Amino acid sequence: SSELTQDPAVSVALGQTVRITCQGDSLRSYYASWYQQKPGQAPVIVIFGKNNRPSGIPDRFSGSSSGNTASLIITGAQAEDEADYYCNSRDIKNDHVLFGGGTKLTVL
Amino acid sequence: QVQLQQWGAGLLKPSETLSLTCTVSGDSVRSYYWSWIRQPPGKGLEWIAYVYYSGSTNHNPSLKSRVTTSVDRSKNQFSLNLSSVTAADTAVYYCARGQRGPHDYDWGTYRYNWFDPWGQGTLVIVSS
């Protein structure tokens, strides 16, 4: 199906590592990109493609992929990482764009 | 630094047409895939459409034929029209620059896309 599925909420202790996942058939063929969105702000790209990090994004953010699952990994989560995270990919059948439903990350 | 500045009416009545425009600074619309994405209050992101500088477009089939997008190369702008709006179209609308990864010759196509940067967002409320 042409959908991307994310866990609605994930929590992590300050300084620990957290994995946010995104599942979908399209991810068997295509890579996910990841966005961070804080309240009242537009989304910001944090990882695109296999594991590309835009300038200005801390190196504690990384991406990985296996089978139909893509992951955003935050190694040593900080308080400022508390946000909503969205994955996106292209549709497996055409050039349409897919977004996951989003994951709310809480840093404890 | 590329910046997108968007504007348009924020309050519409049912059956009216939503019109938004996004001006690009620091880059030319003669490249990339200029995109529209929306986010209903308290919900996730939904891709609406993209338009290439040549005028070719693609849109979310769930919006059927209500979507029209265009590029104005002379003004370095791109626009979105969404007709026959209902309360379900109430959302923050974002414009964004869409990019694609390189052609993967083993796969015969590009293997990823991403959106960066984004406009500041426009809250559009549809209410009678």
A88 — contact with chain B (CB < 8 Å)? yes
User: Which sign, positive or negative, has the C-alpha torsion B65, B33, B53, B80?
Assistant: positive
Spacing of C-alpha B109 from chain mean position = 23
pLDDT digits (tens, 9 = 90+) for A33-58: 999 999 999 999 999 998 999 999 99
C-alpha separations of B70 from A100, B45, B82, B89, B93 in Å:
26, 21, 12, 20, 16
In chain B, which residues touch A (CB < 8 A)? 35, 37, 44-47, 50, 58, 60-61, 94, 98-99, 101, 107, 110-116, 118-121
pLDDT of residue A1: 53
- Closest chain B residue by Cα to residue A31: B112
Measured between beta carbons, the chain B residues lying within 8 angstroms of A49 are 101, 111-112, 114
pLDDT above 90: residue A95: no
Residue A48 DSSP code: B
Which pLDDT tens digit goes with each residue over B64-119? 789 999 999 999 999 999 999 999 999 999 999 999 988 888 888 888 999 999 99
What is the 8-class DSSP label of residue A17? -
Chain centre to alpha carbon of residue B74: 19
In angstroms, the separation between the Cα of residue B91 and the nearest Cα of chain A is 13
Q: Per residue in B40-62, pLDDT tens?
A: 999 999 999 999 988 899 999 99
Contact yes or no for B101 and A88 at CB 8 A = no
